[in-house]
Structure 1
Amino acid sequence: MSDDDAAVSRATMALRAAEAGAAVAASSFRTELAVEEKGTKTDVVTQVDRDAQETVIETIREEFPDDPVVGEEDDALKDVPESGPAWIVDPIDGTNNYVDGTRAFGTAVAAVADGGPVGAATVCPALSDTYRVGPDGAFLNGEPLSVSDCDDPEAATVCPTFWWDFDQRDQYAAATREVVERFGDMRRFGCAQLELAMVATGALEGAMTNMAINPWDSLAGVRLIREAGGVVTDLEGNRWRHDSTGLVASNGAIHDELLAAARAIED
């Protein structure tokens, strides 16, 4: 199989696996859930997260039984292999939203090769939205994606994404300050993969954090943005990788201002 054919096959599987996991999540949405804390009061998990991840992995294993899987929950790998193929899984990104009955959650699956995504999908079942990306481009519900053409920061809408824990709320406050002082408006949806996907669609002009962001919260969305014409860097302005510190994602036209905002969080 050629590299191109392999990329198509893996992108197709990413979509199929994300749809399978999202179906599990959707079946229990807005039902009574037993909620556990993983580490903090804002980092929670349900059995549905675990069941959805198991379903995603089982689906992938049907065609790629030997590939490593990096996943958010339980005993799955937590680090992206630097060589060879692998799969990155977030069974329910936005679990707090899911628990609260808020529709902004999704199942994200990325296929990677040598540490970089070659195809991915984020399926948001309660929004009836499916984002996918592969060798043929980036799409929302089958329609091609393109980032916003807004080049005026004062007209741009930006999201301070990911999450600052209680011992870092000064940084969260600083991120918010930088956004409201530099840009036209601010949004935050509590689902990093959805927020990144919205940059790819042009619904947001940018999303940023100064923190290291988990691969399951980011790789699918990063690939969507780049394929849609956007830019994703670290805090130094270098091309973002799964092990970068900070994530600055934009339509490209406002990137310098967004990068300055992200750098100013810890000043």
Structure 2
Amino acid sequence: MHDDESGESVAERAAVAEDAARAGGAVAGEHFRRDIDVERKSGKTDVVTEADRASQRRVIERVRETYPADAVVGEEEDELKAVPDSGAAWVIDPIDGTNNYVRDIRAFATAVAAVVDGEPVAAATVAPALDDVYVADGDAVRRNGEPVSVSDRTDPETAAVAPTVWWDFDHRDEYAAACTEIVERFGDMRRFGSAQVTLALVAAGALDATITNVECNPWDSVGGVHMVRVAGGTVTDLNGEPWRHDSTGLVASNGGVHEEALSAARAADAVGDR
């Protein structure tokens, strides 16, 4: 076992992830529903605010108090944009769900994951406007201090499933196909506009699965994937192989409806190959 994967070290990393995510979430919460400038990055729906940057800076400050030498992967500014395959790193999304945030919708979160040799070992997702804090170490996931786990549903017609991440305008046929597949295969569909909130909901059993066929940014996915797995769920790529930070597609489920969710994601992906 890698030294950084010992139970004591994982517990410490989980505590730091929670502390940092709470601090970053507090910054985001202070600015929520206030008059704040919105900038666009690469497209009409790719927005950023000064709250994103300030929250990320606060998270990094907290992490570096305990782990000053660890690598940092962050959505904003000049931090790394890919997860290193060796060593310890922290993956940060200061406000996951910025489009919700700027529309005064409460479904956004600060997400912090601790990674060792490319694999997540601990994670925290703090949704300040929802007053929810999810924390995963190596053994359990807790929401507001209480243990949670994935649902036990196995009948797809009773399941609630969400499409997640984002399909750009030149991939809207795949987005539409993902929605159609979910509606036709499962009991109902949800969409929350924050991948980390969505993954936390799968880990807590509120959702039964979430799917996408695109390659996810690590800050949108790594922490939540860890939560789903620790909570007893299954997370794969489109090939049904265990998901990694560089995988294409992400299918996260309670395990009981995973094959159906995987089929839905593959069908959506097939539309893009036509």
Report the TM-score, using the length of structure 1 for normalisation. 0.98
- 2:171 aligned residue: 168
1:63 Cα deviation from its structure 2 partner:
1.1
Q: 1:28 aligns with which of 27, 31, 36?
A: 31
Query: Which residue in the other structure is 1:151 paired with?
Result: 154
Q: CA deviation at 1:266?
A: 2.8
Paired residue for 1:185?
A: 188
Q: Distance in 2 between matches of 1:50 and 1:57?
A: 11
**Partner of residue 110 from structure 2, selected from 90, 95, 107:** 107
Which of 204, 209, 220 is residue 206 of structure 1 equivalent to?
A: 209
Moved over 3 A (4+): none
1:119 is aligned to 122
SS, match of residue 258 in structure 1: helix
Q: Deviations over 1:188-247 (max 9, x none)?
A: 000000000100111111000000001100111111111111000000000000000000
Deviation at 1:136, TM superposition (A): 4.1
**What is the alpha-carbon distance in structure 2 between the residues aligned to residue 57 and residue 36 of structure 1?**
22
Q: Give structure 2 stretches of 5+ with no counterpart.
A: none
Aligned partner of 2:229 in structure 1 is 226
The answer (yes or no) to whether the contact 2:138–2:230 under 8 Å persists in 1 is no
- Given residue 183 of structure 1, which amino acid in structure 2 is its aligned partner? F
How big is the shift at 1:67? 0.6
User: What residue identity is the alignment partner of 2:189?
Assistant: M
Unaligned runs of 5+ in 1: none
Residue equivalent to 1:135: 138
Q: Distance in 2 between matches of 1:89 and 1:192?
A: 13
Correspondence for 2:99: 96
- Structure 1 match to 2:246: 243
* TM-score, normalised relative to structure 2: 0.96
Give the aligned partner of residue 19 of structure 2: 16
Instruction: Give the 3-state SS of the residue equivalent to 1:119 in structure 2.
Output: strand
Counterpart pick for 1:55 among 46, 55, 58: 58
1-side partners of 2:204 and 2:11: how far apart? 22
Q: Distance in 2 between matches of 1:48 and 1:228?
A: 31
